[in-house]
A = this chain, B = another copy of it.
Amino acid sequence: MSSGVLTIGDLSKATGVKVETIRYYERIGLLPAPDRTSGNYRAYGNSDLGRLSFIRRARDLGFGLEQVRELLSLSDQKQRSCEAVDVIARDHLADVDRKLADLKALRRELDSIIRHCGRGTIGECRIIEALAPIDPRH
């Protein structure tokens, strides 16, 4: 490949995003479809690399693809107010907090159940017991 032109593999190595995932992002419109080489290879430029890095970072922070799409759109509008970005980020943070709370509650319960697990048989198993119907009325 000639200097200045990047292959999909180059982008993958540079960002840690898989080739298949990059093609997926193109399919769903997150990444623009680049020009092609004479061999039909995708020919990316540095701006594509920058955009993919942005996507990767946002994904790593847990933003959903649609949120990433919005953030990308906003990032192109330099004169626009920062507020929309703030809203997206705060909504997401609130979502993360909810997930954290749920996961903590789950962990607490699970830990409690496991802590009481002895070394007997299934018939006496506290874990199974905790999952079983409460009212084994015969």
By a beta-carbon cutoff of 8 Å, the part of chain A in contact with chain B is 49-50, 53-54, 57-58, 60-62, 71, 74-75, 77-83, 85-86, 89-90, 92-93, 96-97, 99-100, 103-104, 106-107, 109-111, 113-114, 117-125, 127-128, 130-133, 136
23 contacts between A and B (CB under 8 A): A49-B133, A53-B132, A53-B133, A54-B133, A57-B130, A57-B131, A61-B110, A62-B106, A71-B127, A75-B128, A78-B121, A80-B122, A81-B122, A82-B118, A82-B127, A83-B119, A86-B127, A89-B117, A89-B127, A93-B107, A96-B107, A96-B110, A97-B107
Q: Please indicate the chain B residues that have their CB under 8 angstroms from the CB of A110 in the complex.
A: 61-62, 89, 92-93, 96
| Chain B residue nearest in CB terms to A103 | B100
Contact of A81 among B50, B57, B74, B121 (CB under 8 A): B121
Known contacts A75-B128, A78-B121, A81-B121; is-contact A100 B107 (Cβ 8 Å): yes
